[in-house]
Structure formats: C-alpha cells, structure tokens
C-alpha cells in the first residue's frame, strides 16, 4: 500500500492540486494525509474535486489556516477512530485481513507547545493495538544532521522527541526525496 503525506500549505492553489494529482498517479498512491489544507469540507470539495479519492475525512482548524485531510481510494477499508485538529487516527484492514493503524499527525506550531504534541502522541498510542504507522509534520528532528542552519539545534527538543517516540514504540523509517526543501 502506498501512502503520501504532504504539508501542502494550502489546497486553494491549482498548482498544488495538480502536483498532488501527478504524485498520486505516478506513485500509485491510495491513501493521502494532507496538512495545512486551509480548507473546510466544502472548500476541499471545490478545490480537491480533481483528486482521485472517493473517501475523505476533513478536519478544519477553527480561526486558522491549518486543517487536515485524510483521503483514500474506494478499495481501502479505513475507519477513522478519533481525531483532533492535530491528528487523525484510523484503522486499516488490508484485503488479506491484516489490520494496522495509521496516524496522520500535525504538531502544534509554537515551539513552547511542543510538549503538547508529544503528550498527544502518547495519548494516541493508547488507542493503538497492533502495527502502527505514524506520518505527518512533527516539526522536530532526531539528529543534528537533519537541520540545515547556522544555529545549532536545541538538544532538549531533540531529546523530548526521542523520548516520545520511544514511549510510543515508534521509530523513524526515513524518507524518499529531497532532504531540504
């Protein structure tokens, strides 16, 4: 199963929708988690109608440009378990009966509230009973090499992220694509 996770920073732009459509077509993606859509359900229907996904779960962050969208193709058996404006947790059952959990995660924006992100991640883990795949934008790094800046990373924040992942029995699978965009 191929999954795409993208902080798209707004779906009102036709270029973004075309780019997602091309990625989905080229990569045979069947589940997408999109962050910062800046759209409610009605806006998503208008601007995302070209996307080849029949199933949608949209979370609009009130009074903000944020917003989450979990979209999937018809053949995927996916049930949303719970959500907040920072996550969507779903249970996925494959054709052969294999069951796993998917969390689309979007951290709090303010650095002073990162601990809320890790507390939420820990809370979500209490609903997971089996294999768990967690994607999204954590706005955090595990290693100094993941940051390109003149300013050194804040080691306490890296440590807090590592502790949260360890508590939830999660580990970094890496990524494909450009390292710094």
Mean pLDDT of 57-76: 86
Structure-block tokens of residue 95:
């054709």
Q: Which residues, including other chains, have CB under 8 Å from residue 172's CB and lie 6 or more apart?
A: 142, 165
pLDDT band of residue 166 (cuts 50, 70, 90) is very high
Q: Is the pLDDT of residue 23 over 90?
A: no
Q: Find the mean pLDDT for residues 47-71.
A: 83
CATH 1.10.8.50 fits 3-167, yes or no: no
For residue 177, name the pLDDT band (cuts at 50, 70, 90): low
Whole-angstrom distance, CA of residue 77 vs CA of residue 95 = 8
- β-partners of residue 4 are 32
d(CA 150, CA 25): 38
**Is 83 strand, coil or helix?**
strand
CB atoms closer than 10 angstroms to residue 101? 19
- Is residue 104 within 8 A of residue 110, CB to CB? The reply is no
Which pLDDT score is estimated for 148? 66
Helix 114-125 and helix 155-167, axial crossing angle in degrees, nearest 10: 10
The average confidence (pLDDT) of the chain is 86
Q: What is the reported pTM? A: 0.88
């Amino acid at each position: 199963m191929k999954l795409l996770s993208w902080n798209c920073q707004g779906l009102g732009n036709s270029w973004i929708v075309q780019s997602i459509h091309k990625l989905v077509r080229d990569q045979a993606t069947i589940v997408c988690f999109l962050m910062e859509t800046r759209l409610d359900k009605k806006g998503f229907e208008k601007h995302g109608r070209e996307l080849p996904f029949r199933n949608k779960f949209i979370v609009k962050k009130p009074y903000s440009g944020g917003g989450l969208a979990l979209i999937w193709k018809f053949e995927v058996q996916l049930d949303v378990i719970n959500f907040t404006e920072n996550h969507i947790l779903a249970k996925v059952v494959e054709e052969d009966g294999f069951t796993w959990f998917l969390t689309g995660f979007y951290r709090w924006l303010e650095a002073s509230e990162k601990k809320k992100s890790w507390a939420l991640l820990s809370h979500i883990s209490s609903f997971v009973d089996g294999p768990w795949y967690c994607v999204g934008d954590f706005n955090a790094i595990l290693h100094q090499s993941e940051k390109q800046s003149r300013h050194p990373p804040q080691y306490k924040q890296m440590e807090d992220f590592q502790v949260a992942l360890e508590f939830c029995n999660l580990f970094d699978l890496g990524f494909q694509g450009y390292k710094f965009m």
